[in-house]
Amino acid sequence: MITILRIGHRPERDKRITTHVALTARAFGANEILVDYPDKELEKNFESTCQRWGGDLKIRTGVKWRQVLKEFNGQVVHLTMYGETLEKAMEVIDATQDIMVIVGAEKVPREVYEQATINVGVGNQPHSEVAALGVFLYSLFEGKMPEFNDGQMKIIPNPRGKTVESK
């Protein structure tokens, strides 16, 4: 079970970035998405994506992240440019056990660095929490991306155009 915990979400500024975080989480194999700020529109849009394209992921916004973190019983991975290299982190993290991945927006409180099982820097450069999450999950699952067969639509890979199967 992989849970993504998005903290520091600012509804105006981060709206689209958090949407990208949620869709990336789904596409690369996470099971649950928690966002600290209440955002019903994000929930609705994400649930609609799952209906159309498949997957039984849960999304909850407006969660109390400190409490969530306290109650979580598993490996906590905080993605930050300052963290341990991805390579080293992969030696420590067990992909078969429960993982909570914390994806921060701008400033992340010090206690997150302290409470995480490991802080992981995907590249140790300033880039994007969206890319960091995608590459982290891709690496964690050794390049295996999930297939979704319970949606209303499904893409058939096409090197030249668009093929979509509708049910």
Which residues bind to its own copies, rule: CB under 8 A? 13, 16-17, 20-21, 23-24, 26-28, 49, 53, 81-88, 113-114, 118-119, 121-128, 130-135, 138-139, 143, 145, 148, 155, 157-164
Nearer to its own copies, 48 or 64 (CB): 48
State the minimum distance, in angstroms, from the CB of residue 39 to its own copies: 16
Nearer to its own copies, 46 or 65 (CB): 46
State the minimum distance, in angstroms, from the CB of residue 44 to its own copies: 15
Q: Which residues, in sequence order, are CB contacts of 143 under 8 Å at separation 6+?
A: none
Nearer to its own copies, 64 or 82 (CB): 82
Nearer to its own copies, 64 or 111 (CB): 111
Nearer to its own copies, 31 or 128 (CB): 128
Which amino acid would we find at residue 26?
A: R
Q: Which residues, in sequence order, are CB contacts of 100 under 8 Å at separation 6+?
A: 2, 3, 4, 5, 69, 72, 74, 75, 76, 77
Q: How far is CA 112 from CA 102, 116, 117, 136, in A?
A: 8, 6, 10, 18
The C-alpha atoms of residue 28 and residue 20 are separated, in whole angstroms, by 12
State the minimum distance, in angstroms, from the CB of residue 23 to its own copies: 4
State the minimum distance, in angstroms, from the CB of residue 7 to its own copies: 17
State the minimum distance, in angstroms, from the CB of residue 50 to its own copies: 10
Q: DSSP character for 162? A: -
The DSSP bridge pattern shows strands 153-155 and 2-7 to be: unpaired
